[in-house]
Chains A and B, each alone.
Chain A
């Protein structure tokens, strides 16, 4: 598998990531190489062995505590709920689901979060995502509901979307998540495949006439694609932890057998997708990393939303790589956190 290692000296001066970030993401990259088999199967046991997980913790740590809830026993669908706490004391067992309006007279956003992992990796209790969700609680003074959706290749499209939809309905129907106006203020958020899931769950909410209103979508480096090879894919292939070949593998693992990458799940504004015009779709914040090879598809997504008359803010971070939001050791991280905070609070 020939791959160009060439990097011009100009580029090498610019594209620096902090050393610990590099170690973290490179480790993921190489471990993931071991897990994907050429025949399309996935070494799930080794994946679970390698994934660093953390249990839920009802003791407040830095003002956040968490607990797990089974939302649907039939599919073992689990969510990890994160709540803010003003004390160091662990909540009473019965207070885990204490009404949010009893603790805050202003509206409390509920962020339904879908972790990344290209549909195949990670879980709601992966350490990196537990950390990220905790940050979101503090940042937005929100309750975060992290969905442990079913993953590919064992569970293909539309399982992850179905799980997201189940949780959205569950969240909507929790009285304890209502703000003082007796409504649950719901945002959807996700990174990588999680961003893709957030889009499709919001779409389903809008199209289904369920009455479920999603106030906003936050998509961090969302995973989209298409049959066409875009310029960014060609230019950045293999350069920053990600290759076109691995992206193709994950789409083959997630999409239905026989589908190609123009399937609407992968390419929501592509030739096979239905138009969004007239659909009451929420406002979106789309964060694009300038060193992510998928960026052309992400920008096409932004364009697609704009053309359909939907409100969207895109945040293009020229020097960011994938996963920059996992560790708070770079400027992009802080910029994005600020934007997310503004995006969520402008509704509340």
Chain B
């Protein structure tokens, strides 16, 4: 056993030059966190170091006393959370070991997509460390493929210059540069790679610069949007990952409840729900009564697409003997939805599911809050008032809501280049082409729209953590079981290159080490009682 220094070492945050963390440009870290370990990805309070060290020693002894088969089983079966929080991590391993030593467990069979809901060893633990203050991720990682053609590089140079002109308001200069780029584009392969991405951004810039009335996205009906969305769903795993991860968390949150209600902020074709319905059907002890409230835009020309989808889901539910009720709420904007429309019953366990919707509620920074407060606060407020067991949130992992145009442009260029790169691996047509159009629309919105028209106001996970924390939500950590199953699914169904990463209780999906979307789960502390944030909510138990 290697002893450590027994004298107390004051571990101050090291000076910024030697070993600052490389991920966040933090304005201030909580002073108690050991700075060197933070650089290695672990959050431990300096005052806790000794305690953690002692627990590690205990853990080592416990592991030594376990046969190695036991350890492997523990590793496969135990659901583990948030490895960054070393203190909790070590303690949870210790308790797993103690449990498994008394009751040898059998490896669970994960042959179907549904997790075994009985493998719920882990308890939902609220984070014991104070949330980091004002850590703004200013990530601009690049995943550009090596550009062989000089024209490709020139295009990128020109794009950046053009974006600068736009930022400075020199629209005529921007305009002529756009024309130059369009002609250069004819000499570049726009089928893939840098040519394709450049093409989208040139188009978006030209809409911004040349559109009458200043800036416009690509017009399209809700119906067209649905079609493109569906193809994006098929062509790459981002939405599937979002649905799968959210369903896993919802399933676990619903454990032990007989009446459950899912509120989906964007029903689309209801692609997420068949898997959940089937998982609930297979639940030991029988399925609960499931209500699904799907929010979506009103359909034009007399169709009631929400109801049609609801009917299809109801049929599925009937076929697997799940008592099911559906309600559609038509609203063109999420902020138009009022909680009473959802008709939530206080006896139900409620799950609120938001896949790429919350960012649309962000007022642009700089808008006078006195005139129009950000709808996000109000919406988070009424979500909380529903007292949901779980709120699943999936968002783009990017900062496309920066006030400065050039920053936004640059960040989105990196982000969407990576996303396009990942799509290049898809062979399905027309899924791929339509998925690219779906992405192109997003790019247009980010680049060429402003004000209320700019809906794609993506913000990174760190900012959502802060925002949701301020609104009274606490994280529910996604664990190693969700991670493993997501990884396995990716290996089975997607091109190599996608990777799932664990990020302090949340999961991200990315392409070649660049996270592109982030999935997280939350619950609300009850508004009335003064509850300490250290309350452990054991999965399923009513507080």
Question: How many angstroms between the C-alpha atoms of A147 and B502 in the bound complex?
Answer: 21
Residues of A close to B514: CB separation below 8 A: 55-56, 68
Question: How many angstroms between the C-alpha atoms of A92 and B488 in the bound complex?
Answer: 37
Return the CB mask of A45-56 against B: 1 if under 8 Å, else 0.
110111011111
Task: Judge if B512 is at the interface, Cβ distance under 8 Å.
Answer: yes
Number of interface residues of A (CB under 8 A): 73
Known: A43-B72, A93-B144. A131 touches B5 (CB 8 A): no
Question: How many angstroms between the C-alpha atoms of A326 and B18 in the bound complex?
Answer: 12
Residues of A close to B147: CB separation below 8 A: 94, 97
Residues of B close to A67: CB separation below 8 A: 141-144
- Of the candidate stretches B33-41, B231-239, B274-282, B378-386, the one touching chain A is B33-41
Known: A20-B11, A22-B53, A327-B19. A239 touches B2 (CB 8 A): yes
Q: Distance in Å from the Cβ of B346 to the closest Cβ of chain A?
A: 37
Residues of A close to B496: CB separation below 8 A: 76
Q: In residues 485-541 of chain B, which contact A (Cβ within 8 Å)? A: 487-488, 496-497, 499-502, 510, 512-515
Residues of B close to A96: CB separation below 8 A: 142, 144
Residues of A close to B4: CB separation below 8 A: 16-19, 21-23
- CB pair A20–B512 under 8 Å, yes or no, is no
Q: Distance in Å from the Cβ of B267 to the closest Cβ of chain A?
A: 32
- CB pair B146–A56 under 8 Å, yes or no, is no
- CB pair B156–A93 under 8 Å, yes or no, is yes
Closest to B44 in A: A23
Q: Which of A3, A37, A54, A90 contacts B23 (CB 8 A)?
A: A54
Task: Judge if A228 is at the interface, Cβ distance under 8 Å.
Answer: no
Q: Which of A23, A38, A329 contacts B69 (CB 8 A)?
A: A38
Q: Distance in Å from the Cβ of A81 to the closest Cβ of chain B?
A: 9
Q: Distance in Å from the Cβ of A324 to the closest Cβ of chain B?
A: 12
Residues of B close to A38: CB separation below 8 A: 68-69, 72
- CB pair A27–B42 under 8 Å, yes or no, is yes
Q: Distance in Å from the Cβ of A35 to the closest Cβ of chain B?
A: 7
Task: Judge if B105 is at the interface, Cβ distance under 8 Å.
Answer: no
Closest to B499 in A: A48
SS of A interface (majority):
mixed
Residues of B close to A15: CB separation below 8 A: 2-3
Question: How many angstroms between the C-alpha atoms of A12 and B42 in the bound complex?
Answer: 27
Task: Judge if A214 is at the interface, Cβ distance under 8 Å.
Answer: no
Number of interface residues of B (CB under 8 A): 81
Task: Judge if A241 is at the interface, Cβ distance under 8 Å.
Answer: yes
Return the CB mask of B44-77 against A: 1 if under 8 Å, else 0.
1000011011001101100110001101101110
Question: How many angstroms between the C-alpha atoms of A241 and B83 in the bound complex?
Answer: 20
Q: Distance in Å from the Cβ of A235 to the closest Cβ of chain B?
A: 14
Q: Distance in Å from the Cβ of A130 to the closest Cβ of chain B?
A: 6
Residues of A close to B71: CB separation below 8 A: 33-34
Residues of B close to A104: CB separation below 8 A: none
Known: A45-B488, A70-B145, A90-B140. A24 touches B42 (CB 8 A): yes
Task: Judge if A230 is at the interface, Cβ distance under 8 Å.
Answer: no
Known: A52-B84, A94-B157. A57 touches B42 (CB 8 A): no
- CB pair A1–B64 under 8 Å, yes or no, is yes
Residues of B close to A135: CB separation below 8 A: 19
Question: How many angstroms between the C-alpha atoms of A61 and B145 in the bound complex?
Answer: 23
Q: Which of A20, A49, A66, A326 contacts B483 (CB 8 A)?
A: A49
Q: Distance in Å from the Cβ of B488 to the closest Cβ of chain A?
A: 7
Q: Distance in Å from the Cβ of A207 to the closest Cβ of chain B?
A: 28
Q: 6 A-B pairs, CB-CB below 8 angstroms?
A: A16-B4, A16-B6, A26-B2, A53-B501, A68-B513, A90-B410
Q: Which residues of A contact B (CB under 8 A)?
A: 1, 3, 5, 7, 12, 15-24, 26-27, 29-31, 33-35, 37-38, 43, 45-46, 48-50, 52-59, 61-62, 66-70, 76, 78, 80, 90, 92-94, 96-97, 123-125, 127-128, 130-131, 134-135, 148, 239-241, 321, 326-329
Given contacts A33-B71, A34-B63, 7 further A-B contacts (CB under 8 A): A45-B487, A48-B502, A49-B80, A53-B513, A61-B25, A67-B142, A131-B39
Q: Which residues of B contact A (CB under 8 A)?
A: 1-6, 9, 11, 14, 16-20, 22-23, 25, 34, 36-37, 39-42, 44, 49-50, 52-53, 56-57, 59-60, 63-64, 68-69, 71-72, 74-76, 80, 83-84, 86, 90, 93, 138-147, 153, 156-157, 160, 410, 413-414, 480, 483-484, 487-488, 496-497, 499-502, 510, 512-515
